[in-house]
């Protein structure tokens, strides 16, 4: 059996998305900025895709800016809004590297940054964000759903605090589609195609009308002068179709997997809040087991899982998210993320359970850290 349980890293491209993209890749080669017929054919497809994405995000088409993905969207939001050398920026300790790795650059160019901690449940406290605000605070950035542990954050509650203080708010909603309702009342919002069964290489920054956004790259006047560069029309078309096909995931398979492992494997624990989580994510730590070794063991048995963020793969450091929860480095390195998708089946989940039980038992016998 081969089965994929790493949907938070990337998702398979839906057949309907491929079907929509292939004719564009093969026959609609015009530049969407050209005024002749070839260009206008591409422009029509691009704008139809923009309307589809806007409908999914419950916003207006003119507020949708196509990017190369979630990372660029996050960078554009942060660097595009923070302007003055003393602008204060607030984010949290469990954000994606596409936000946290921007922090050092922000500090280097003179911005003040506050990183709000989280408790052991992995959920940001609204009052902690409120206390972090200053008269000079210009932007708060908060993810909707944590990519490693799946905790759902109080985005709209914090957005209300920001509005009352006259502070702009950005939401990294890359992991939100199909997990939670897309009803975020924020000023800027990031989305990535390959996280919702769309293509890689395309994303969106939703920019609320009236939000001053300075472009970060220079060239033409594409995307209403907010993101220059010839648009990826085929990618946009694919993303638009993917947005229309998103369905809400249920937690029954995740719960089946989790309850079986907690019941059959000793010294196995859930990381993050047990209830306030996306329905497809289970992050478990298996004491005495090196997470990377378990990932390899499961891959050899045909099951793809992860030990954390794909964007941090290869790092020798333990997960910053798990460390923020208060875990030791040793415990953090014993964690595995199982992230399910719509295509997973009961048979795959049961097969994964057997593979995990067998692999953990074998690895613990070899581990000097487990008595």
Alpha helices in the chain (DSSP H): 15-27, 37-57, 70-81, 97-108, 126-132, 155-165, 222-225, 233-245, 252-264, 291-300, 320-324, 329-332, 346-366
Computed from CA positions of residues 265, 266, 270, 274, in that sequence, does the dihedral angle turn out positive or negative? positive
Is-contact 133 159, C-beta < 8 A? no
Instruction: Look up residue 14 and give its two tokens.
Output: 């839906």
Greatest extent of the chain over all pairs of C-alpha atoms, in Å: 73
Computed from CA positions of residues 316, 321, 324, 330, in that sequence, does the dihedral angle turn out positive or negative? negative
Instruction: Look up residue 59 and give its two tokens.
Output: 């916003």
Catalytic residue of the set 162, 171, 243, 311? 311
Computed from CA positions of residues 181, 186, 192, 198, in that sequence, does the dihedral angle turn out positive or negative? positive
The radius of gyration of the chain's CA atoms, rounded to the nearest angstrom, is 21
Q: Select from 187, 139, 142 the least CA-distant residue to 167.
A: 139
- d(Cα 17, Cα 357) in Å, to the nearest integer? 37
Specify whether 171 is catalytic.
no
316 contacts: CB under 8 Å, gap ≥ 6 = none
State the CB neighbour count (10 A cutoff) for residue 219.
10
- d(Cα 364, Cα 324) in Å, to the nearest integer? 26
- d(Cα 286, Cα 270) in Å, to the nearest integer? 9
Is-contact 106 75, C-beta < 8 A? no
Instruction: Look up residue 25 and give its two tokens.
Output: 């890749």
Computed from CA positions of residues 236, 83, 141, 339, in that sequence, does the dihedral angle turn out positive or negative? positive
Q: Could you tell me what percentage of the chain is helix, strand and coil, using 3-state DSSP and rounding each to the nearest 5? A: 40, 15, 40
> Catalytic amino acids?
311
């Amino acid at each position: 059996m081969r089965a994929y349980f790493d949907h938070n890293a990337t998702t398979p491209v839906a057949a309907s998305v491929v079907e929509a993209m292939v004719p564009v890749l093969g026959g609609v080669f015009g530049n969407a900025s050209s005024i002749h017929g070839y260009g206008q054919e591409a422009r029509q497809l691009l704008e139809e895709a923009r309307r589809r994405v806007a409908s999914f995000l419950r916003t207006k088409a003119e507020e949708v800016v196509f990017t190369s993905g979630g990372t660029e969207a996050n960078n554009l939001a942060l660097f595009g809004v923070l302007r003055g050398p003393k602008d204060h920026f607030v984010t949290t300790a469990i954000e994606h590297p596409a936000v946290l790795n921007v922090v050092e650059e922000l500090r280097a160019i003179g911005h003040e940054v506050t990183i709000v901690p989280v408790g052991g449940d992995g959920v940001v406290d609204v009052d902690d964000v409120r206390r972090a605000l200053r008269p000079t605070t210009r932007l708060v950035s908060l993810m909707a759903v944590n990519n490693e542990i799946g905790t759902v954050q109080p985005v709209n509650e914090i957005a209300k605090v920001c509005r009352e203080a006259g502070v702009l708010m950005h939401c990294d909603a890359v992991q939100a589609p199909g997990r939670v309702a897309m009803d975020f009342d924020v000023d800027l919002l990031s989305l990535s195609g390959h996280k919702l069964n769309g293509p890689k290489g395309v994303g969106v920054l939703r920019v609320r009308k009236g939000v001053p956004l300075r472009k970060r790259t220079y060239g033409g006047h594409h995307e209403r002068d907010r993101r220059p560069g010839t648009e990826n029309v085929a990618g946009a078309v694919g993303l638009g179709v993917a947005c229309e096909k998103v369905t809400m995931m249920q937690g029954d398979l995740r719960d089946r997997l989790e309850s079986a492992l907690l019941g059959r494997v000793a010294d196995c624990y859930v990381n993050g809040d047990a209830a306030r989580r996306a329905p497809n994510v289970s992050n478990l730590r298996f004491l005495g087991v090196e997470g990377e070794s378990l990932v390899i063991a499961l891959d050899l048995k045909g099951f793809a899982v992860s030990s954390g963020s794909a964007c941090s793969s290869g790092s020798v450091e333990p997960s910053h998210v798990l460390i923020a929860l208060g875990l030791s480095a040793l415990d953090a390195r014993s964690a595995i993320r199982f992230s399910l998708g719509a295509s997973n089946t009961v048979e795959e989940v049961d097969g994964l359970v057997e593979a995990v039980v067998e692999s953990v038992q074998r690895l613990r016998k070899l581990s000097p850290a487990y008595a």
